[in-house]
Amino acid sequence: MKDKIVLITGATSGIGKETAKGLAMLGATIIFTSRDTLKGEKIKKELITTTNNKNIRVLKCDLASFESIRNCCKEFKSKYDNLHVLINNAGVWDFKRRESKEGIENIFATNYLAPFLMTNLLLDILKKSGPSRIINVTSGMHYGTINFDDIEFKQKFSGAKAYRQSKLGLILYTKLLAKKLNGTGVTVNTAHPGMNKTELGRDASGFSRMIFKMMGKDPKIGAETSIYLASSSDVKNISGEYFAKKKIKKSSKESYDMILAKKLWDLSKEYLEKS
């Protein structure tokens, strides 16, 4: 990964942090986002020390704010001429309904609309830097459908349903984007990391947090598939697939529905055009 530039969201803890560490140890230049500047700088110093790689930088970005995402991408382009790997890793699971800076249900905004926006803003530099790769971190919990009647769960909120929907949306987006990027030198795949000990359930009840910790694996294990997709020559020509444990797996029946994917894509554009 020497001379490769990698941008990762959600790398201040958990799977994202382990992904950044693993790719830094392979020699990549790592740029990661953090909404908290002080925490970001602290993690940057830690990663430099543990990997002995000085090419690690942090960009301020709040993924619950379209304005912040746009500013982050603008800053990235002002500082770097290339982008070889984009890893949309950040994710949230709210147990009470919250809204993003634009007043959109927070899980939908952060887990789905944020990577949709960031990827589209960076597609030009990814194409220019080709061959390049996009990795969208999804979940094995993506089974279900897209609730177009109430996509923001305004009527009856369920954190689990909102989370599942956002991760299904990410797979649908990935599969449709792969078709659109065919022949450009840019590949895009999804990674299912498994259940890991992360901060995903930090807003849960004490019992639920305990379950997360008991059942979760070491984030290093969860990061393996993302690292593999970012670095391995085995997958350089593979696009539009769903990976788990570094292998192509079959995702849910709904995730292959390109009519559903197109409907969601068009709705996503409407959200971004309004904000």
pLDDT for residue 140: 83
Residues that are catalytic: 163
Computed from CA positions of residues 146, 148, 153, 156, in that sequence, does the dihedral angle turn out positive or negative? negative
With beta carbons less than 8 A apart as the criterion, state whether 142 and 168 touch.
Answer: yes
Angle of helix 14-25 relative to helix 219-231, nearest 10 degrees, comes to 50
Q: What is the edge-to-edge ordering of all strands in the sheet holding 186-192?
A: 56-60, 29-34, 5-8, 85-88, 132-137, 186-192, 242-244, 247-249
Give pLDDT tens digits for 126-171. Answer: 999 999 999 999 988 899 899 999 999 999 999 999 999 999 999 9
Residue 200: per-residue pLDDT: 53
Note the pLDDT of residue 26.
97
Residue 272's φ and ψ, nearest 5 degrees, are -75, -35
Alpha-carbon distance of 61 to 114, in angstroms, equals 11
Check residue 194 and give its pLDDT.
62
Q: What confidence score (pLDDT) does residue 212 get?
A: 53
Is residue 122 within 8 Å of residue 82, measured between CB atoms?
Answer: no
Q: At residue 80, what is the residue type? A: Y
Which of the residues in the chain have pLDDT under 70?
Answer: 194-217
| pLDDT value for 19 | 97
Q: What is the pTM of this model?
A: 0.91
Q: Look at residue 207 in the predicted model and tell me its pLDDT.
A: 46
Fold of 5-274: Rossmann fold (3.40.50)
Looking at residue 274, its pLDDT comes to: 84
Rounded Cα gap, residues 80 and 83, in angstroms: 8
